[in-house]
């Protein structure tokens, strides 16, 4: 029996070697297959079997291609299904740079092997989507991960970039926790339902226990449909995005992440050239307001210079943190209005915050600053900070981590053996320099063009970036329409839009529209508006894209 197995192993090794040789001679053969062969050869066949790769690449070898490839694939699936799983991430830039666009797009297609094997434990299938890594800086080996879900409803749906903040949080949070077509699969027990109704509080494990580890279910009314959603792990180091060569004194600035994201977007549009015929919207949540506005401004610059025809149409910022020198001190007023602190406490906290901001905003201290220092000494100062003060619900990042690192998803999205960081605290040291920077002037420049729509929204239950704190920052954006904005009253946003029949309507929130700036406060939502009010947030985005702002009566 042992002798027979050894004979089969030797035969398989020959097939593996032949298939690899033929791949090198014929570039049109699936490269992921050859990668799998190369990974298996040293382990399964031993080092000595590498001599099969020696010799001329003759036409006779090519003639054996069909047979050898078929035998290899069948044998691998019999020996071990996981032996064919690639150990390396799928890097698409080499194909893009060689002009092999069709090949790169085929390779990037998400392949849900669990569903294809008709296993009963798969749950919902992964919708048609594309993923992989795009190299944005070859010199230091920066590779950014993305997961793209084209709309299956409309071929003309806008391409909508979503970025999460943190800084250092994976944008897969937006996909899986907030508004993507997939979400963590919940347990159906009464206990889980009870936990869900109470919300998941910081420092507890109820949130993770409420979900079946690593399993998915469909999210109804996701943003995918009216939009083609593109989730990018940013900055490099968040999620699956990674950097191969780093220096210990490296810092991340607006210029750094704006350029990384721009290089990503350029290649993405090469990969999906039909996207040039669709509007592009850039946005995200919390700290990602800075990522999004810096990227939008960078794209605006290259459009102005005639270097790009990217179809940038607008910008949307959720629960934004784009002007920290204004937002941080103003946040304390919200806590005072909730009764969390007295007026004297609020006054002292504001003074301490302003002093700390001044201390860390200049000189060498700012360059040596870490985000953790700012969060501890400037932002939180021992005060409560929940995503939603009514439910006290916060994200348990382990839920996202379990899904993204599950064998099924890891294989489907071509992540290889790359580690995943749902939240990367190591980025805190690199981003301290950027934390107190503002993108207000970039927002002003975009608004002053009159070419881009801008949506700024947040939830009225948000303790992290409250409505009042965000409003203070919005009112001080130095654009030419500032005075007009200050004169505009706040309107109530109803659905159906008939405030004359209040018994038939539902209050969605409040809004102000001035020129191209749409400001919305979503009722009943915390820091993560799409998670708390999915249907309303989707409707808000649709109205913003189609009308420039939310719709109310009369119209």
> Does 441 have pLDDT greater than 50?
yes
Q: For the ranges 15-29, 333-347, 508-522, which has the lowest average pLDDT?
A: 15-29
Q: Quick check: is 24 in a domain?
A: yes
Backbone angles phi, psi at 229, to 5 degrees: -95, 130
Backbone angles phi, psi at 549, to 5 degrees: -170, 180
Q: For the ranges 203-217, 228-242, 492-506, 516-530, which has the lowest average pLDDT?
A: 203-217
| Structure token digits, residue 410 | 């890891």
Looking at mean pLDDT, say which of 53-57, 443-447, 461-465 comes out highest.
443-447
> Does 34 have pLDDT greater than 50?
no
H helix or E strand, kind and range, residue 231: strand 228-232
- What is the rounded distance in angstroms from the CA atom of residue 316 to the CA atom of residue 166? 17
* Percentage of the chain modeled with pLDDT above 70: 70
Question: Same domain, yes or no, for 152 and 65?
Answer: no
Tell which wins on pLDDT, 10 or 246. 246
Chosen domain end from 68, 84, 100: 84
Tell which wins on pLDDT, 164 or 52. 164
Q: Quick check: is 93 in a domain?
A: no
The owner of tokens 């539902």 is 506
Contact at 8 Å (CB) between 296 and 435?
no
Question: Same domain, yes or no, for 171 and 281?
Answer: yes
- What is the rounded distance in angstroms from the CA atom of residue 392 to the CA atom of residue 388? 5
Range of the domain at 27: 2-84
Q: Quick check: is 363 in a domain?
A: no
Per the structure, how many domains does the chain have? Answer: 2
- State residue 358's pLDDT score: 75
Question: Same domain, yes or no, for 138 and 49?
Answer: no
Bridging pattern class, strands 242-243 and 228-232: unpaired
Question: Same domain, yes or no, for 402 and 518?
Answer: yes
Question: Same domain, yes or no, for 415 and 493?
Answer: yes
Confidence band of 469 (pLDDT split at 50, 70, 90): very high
Q: Which of 347, 410, 373, 457 is nearest to 89 (CA)?
A: 410
Question: Same domain, yes or no, for 174 and 38?
Answer: no
Confidence band of 199 (pLDDT split at 50, 70, 90): very low
Tell which wins on pLDDT, 117 or 100. 100
Confidence band of 339 (pLDDT split at 50, 70, 90): confident
Chosen domain end from 84, 110, 145: 84
> Does 292 have pLDDT greater than 90?
yes
> Does 133 have pLDDT greater than 90?
yes
Question: Same domain, yes or no, for 66 and 135?
Answer: no
Confidence band of 162 (pLDDT split at 50, 70, 90): very high
Q: Quick check: is 328 in a domain?
A: no
H, E, C per residue of 454-495? EEEEEECCCCCCCHHHHHHHHHCCCCCCHHHHHHCCCEEEEE
Average pLDDT in the chain: 79
Query: CA distances (Å), 328 to each of 320, 360, 437, in order?
Result: 12, 14, 12
Query: How open is the CA angle 270-275-280, to the nearest 5 degrees?
Result: 115
Q: Quick check: is 283 in a domain?
A: yes
- State residue 362's pLDDT score: 66
Q: Quick check: is 222 in a domain?
A: yes
Residues 332-341: contacts with CB under 8 Å, at least 24 apart: 332/383, 333/466, 333/468, 333/469, 334/463, 334/466, 334/467, 334/468, 334/469, 335/383, 335/384, 335/463, 337/468, 338/389, 340/383, 340/384, 341/383
Whole-structure pTM value: 0.80
Question: Same domain, yes or no, for 167 and 249?
Answer: yes
* Residue 541: how many other CB atoms lie within 10 Å: 24
Confidence band of 206 (pLDDT split at 50, 70, 90): very low
Q: For the ranges 3-7, 122-126, 155-159, 351-355, which has the lowest average pLDDT?
A: 3-7
């Amino acid at each position: 029996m042992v002798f027979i197995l050894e004979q089969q192993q030797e035969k398989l090794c020959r097939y593996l070697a032949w298939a690899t040789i033929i791949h090198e001679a014929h570039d049109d053969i699936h490269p992921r297959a050859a990668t799998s062969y190369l990974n298996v050869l040293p382990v399964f066949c031993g080092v000595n079997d590498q001599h099969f790769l020696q010799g001329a690449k003759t036409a006779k070898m090519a003639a054996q291609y069909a047979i050898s490839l078929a035998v290899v694939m069948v044998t691998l699936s019999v020996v071990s299904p996981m032996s064919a799983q690639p150990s390396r991430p799928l890097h698409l830039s080499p194909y893009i740079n060689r002009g092999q666009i069709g090949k790169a797009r085929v390779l990037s297609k998400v392949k849900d092997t669990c569903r294809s094997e008709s296993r009963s434990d798969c749950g919902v299938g992964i919708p048609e989507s594309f993923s992989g890594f795009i190299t944005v800086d070859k010199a230091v080996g920066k590779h950014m991960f993305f997961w793209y879900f084209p709309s299956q409803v409309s071929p003309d749906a806008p391409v909508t970039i979503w970025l999460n903040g943190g800084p250092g949080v994976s944008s897969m949070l937006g996909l899986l926790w907030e508004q993507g077509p997939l979400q963590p699969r919940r347990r159906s027990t009464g206990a889980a339902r009870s936990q869900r109704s109470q919300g998941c509080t910081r420092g507890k494990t109820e949130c993770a226990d409420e979900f079946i580890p690593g399993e998915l279910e469909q999210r109804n009314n996701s943003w995918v449909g009216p939009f083609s959603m593109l989730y990018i792990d940013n900055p490099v180091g968040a999620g699956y995005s990674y950097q191969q060569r780093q220096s210990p004194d490296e810092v991340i600035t607006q210029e750094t992440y704006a350029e990384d994201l721009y290089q990503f977007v350029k290649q993405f549009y090469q990969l999906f050239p039909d996207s040039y015929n669709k509007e592009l919207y850039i946005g995200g949540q919390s700290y990602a307001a800075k990522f999004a506005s810096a990227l939008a401004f960078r794209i605006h610059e290259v459009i102005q210079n005639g270097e790009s025809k990217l179809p940038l149409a607008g910008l949307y910022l959720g629960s934004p943190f784009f002007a920290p020198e204004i937002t941080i001190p103003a946040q304390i007023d919200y806590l005072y209005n909730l009764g969390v602190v007295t007026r004297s406490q609020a006054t002292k906290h504001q003074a301490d915050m302003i002093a700390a901001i001044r201390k860390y905003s200049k000189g060498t201290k700012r360059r040596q600053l870490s985000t953790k220092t700012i969060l501890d000494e400037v932002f939180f100062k021992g005060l409560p900070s929940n995503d939603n003060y009514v439910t006290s619900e916060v994200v348990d990042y382990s839920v996202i981590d379990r899904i993204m690192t599950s064998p099924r998803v890891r294989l489907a999205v071509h992540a290889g053996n790359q580690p995943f960081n749902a939240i990367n605290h190591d980025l805190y040291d690199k981003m301290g320099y950027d934390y107190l920077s503002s993108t207000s002037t970039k927002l002003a420049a975009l608004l002053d063009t009159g070419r881009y729509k801008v949506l700024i929204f947040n939830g009225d239950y948000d303790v992290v970036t409250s409505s009042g704190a965000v409003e203070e920052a919005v009112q001080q954006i130095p654009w030419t329409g500032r005075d007009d904005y200050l004169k505009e009253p706040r309107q109530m946003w109803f659905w159906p839009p008939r405030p004359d029949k209040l018994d038939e309507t539902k209050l969605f929130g409040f809004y102000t529209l001035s020129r191209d700036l749409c400001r919305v406060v979503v009722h009943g939502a915390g820091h993560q508006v799409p998670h708390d009010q999915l249907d309303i947030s989707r409707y808000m985005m649709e109205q913003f894209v189609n009308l420039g702002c939310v719709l109310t009566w009369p119209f």
